[in-house]
Structure 1
C-alpha cells in the first residue's frame, strides 16, 4: 500500500511541483524583462528630450539669424539707413533680455513613492516656482533656457526599514549624490540633502534618479517631510 501511495505522489504531485517551478522561473524572467524595458524607455526619453531641445535651438538660430542676410535682399531699393539698422538693434535687445532674465524653479513630490527601482527618475510634480519655464513637472527635468552658472539643491526623505541612493545628473553625467539608510528601525525616517553649482549650456537637462533599487519608500506627504528639488541661475 505504501508503494502505491508513493507511486501516486510521483505521478501526480511531482509534475505539479516541477510545473510550479517552471512558472516561477518564467515569471522572474518576465519581471527582469519589464525592468530592462523600463530602463530603456527612460534612456529613450532622455534622447528624445535632447533632440527636441536641439530642434528648438535650430528654430531660435533661424529666427535670430544675422539681419544683414535680409538686408542683402533689399539692395538697390531706396530706404533710410536708420531704418535699415533698426532690425539689428531689436534683435540684439531680444538676446540681452533672454540672457539676463531671472531663472528659478522649486517643486516637490505630492505623495510617497514605494520602493523605486534602479535608474528611476524622481518626479517632483507640484511646481511652486518656475520663472523662465525651465522645469517640467511631468518629466522631472530642468532644461536650461540659456547658458550660465546654475545652483541646484534637493532634499529627499526616505522611509524606515531600508536604504536608497540618489544622483543628480546633467545630461548623462552624474554631478552629485545623496544616500539614506534607516538601519531597519521601525518608525525611523531619513532626510538627505545636496547642493551643486554647475556651468550649463543652453538646453542641458538636469534631473535626479535612483542609483540603486530602493528597499524603502520615498516619503513626501506633510510639510515637514517634503521631498523637494530647486534650482536657479546666478546672474
Structure 2
C-alpha cells in the first residue's frame, strides 16, 4: 500500500513538470531530463527499499504469529503445571496427615508397651523380697524337720553349712538318715505318720499360659513368631509376650501345648520350634462356614536359655484371635546335672 502511494506521488510530480518541458529552451530541457533521470533512479531505489521493508515486515509478521503460538502453548503448559502442582500439594498434605496419624498411634503403642514394662518390673521388684524370704523360711523348716525326725546329730557348724548350701540352690547329698536318697529331703506330713519325699533343688516354679488377645493376627510372614500377647499365667517370667517366645530359665524337661484356630477359610501351616528348629508341625484347613482348629502337645528336653516358640510357615497368613488360639507350657522335671539357676 505504501509503495503504491509513493509511485502515484512521483507520477504527479512528473506530470506537474511536463509543462516545463513544453516551454523550456534547450538548456533547461537538458537540465530537466537530468532531474527526471535522477527522479527515476530515486524512485527505483525507493521502490526497492519499500519492497525490502515489505518483505521484512512479512517475516516479522510470520515470526510474531509463531511467537503468539508459542505464548499460547506456554500458557497452556503453565496452566497444566499449576493443576499438577495443586494435585501434588494435595497428595503431600494427605500423606503428611496419614503419617501424623500413624505417628500418633505408634506413640500410643510405645507408651502402652513402656507402661506395661514398668508395671511388670515394679511387680517383679515388689515380689522378689517376699519370695526370697518365703524360700529361705521353707528351706529352714525343711532342715529342722530333717534334724528332728531322723535323730540327726550333727554339730551347729555342719547345720549352718548345710543350710547355706541349700539356700544357694545346691542339692543336699550328704544326709545318711534311713530312707533318704541322694538329692532328696524328708519332711513329716501334718497329721500323718508318713513322710513326704521332696527334691531339695526343685525350687523352680515355671509355668505359663497365654492367648492371642482381642484381635486377629493378620499378614503373618514366613517363620514369624506368633505373638500370644494376652498372658494369663507366667510363673518364673520365662514367657515374653512381646517376642512370643519362651526361654528356659533352668535345664530340664518341659511340656508345651498349643491350640490354633483358622481365620475364616484360610489354610495355614505352623510349627513349634526350639531355637529355630522344627519340633513338630500343625496344619489348619479352613472351611466355608466353620473355623478349623489344630492342637499339639510336645515334651522337650531344654538346656538353660533354649528358646521355644510357635512360628508361621506360610506367607501373608491370618490367625483367629480372641482367646481361640493359645500357647502354654511348664517345667515337668528339672535337670540337676547343672546347678546353675537363672536369678541365683
Query: What is the TM-score normalised by the length of structure 2?
Result: 0.40
Aligned counterpart, 2:319: 218
Secondary structure of the 2:296 match is strand
Deviations 1:138-170 (A, max 9, x none): 111111111111000001111123211111111
Residue 212 (structure 2) pairs with residue 109 (structure 1): yes
Using the alignment, how far apart are the partners of 2:241 and 2:304 within structure 1?
19
Residues in 1 aligned to 2:260 and 2:313: alpha-carbon distance in whole angstroms: 13
* SS at structure 2 position matched to 1:168: strand
Partner of 1:37: none
Q: How far apart are residue 88 of structure 1 and its match?
A: 7.3
Q: Which of 159, 174, 196 is 2:298 aligned to?
A: 196
Q: How many residues align?
A: 149
Alpha-carbon distance between aligned partners in 2 of 1:213 and 1:198, rounded to the nearest angstrom: 27
Matches within 5 A, 1:94-173: 94-95=168-169, 99-110=202-213, 111-173=215-277
Distance in 2 separating the partners of 1:99 and 1:169: 26
- 1:233 alignment partner, SS class: strand
- The structure with the greater share of residues assigned to helix is 2
1:95-122, CA deviations, whole angstroms, 9 ceiling, x for partnerless residues? 1576432211000011201131211110
Structure 2 distance, partners of 1:99, 1:133, is: 17
Q: Any idea what the Cα deviations from partners look like across 1:199-227, whole Å, max 9, x if unmatched?
A: 11111111111112254x21112x5xx21
* Residue 337 of structure 2 is aligned to residue 233 of structure 1: no
CA shift in 2, pair 1:101/1:113, >3 Å: same
Aligned to 1:205: 307
CA distance in 1, matches of 2:310, 2:331: 18
Alignment pair present for 1:93 and 2:167: yes
- Relative to total residues, which structure has the larger strand share, 1 or 2? 1
Runs (4+) off by over 4 Å: 81-89, 96-99
Structure 1: gaps of 5 or more residues: 1-80
**Displacement, 1:91?**
4.2
Offset at residue 133 of structure 1 (A)? 1.4
Task: Specify the structure having the higher radius of gyration (Cα).
Answer: 2
Instruction: Measure the CA separation in 2 of the matches of 1:120 and 1:159.
Output: 17
Higher RCO (CA < 8 A, seq sep 6+):
1
Deviation at 1:89, TM superposition (A): 4.6
Q: Structure 1 length normalisation: TM-score?
A: 0.57
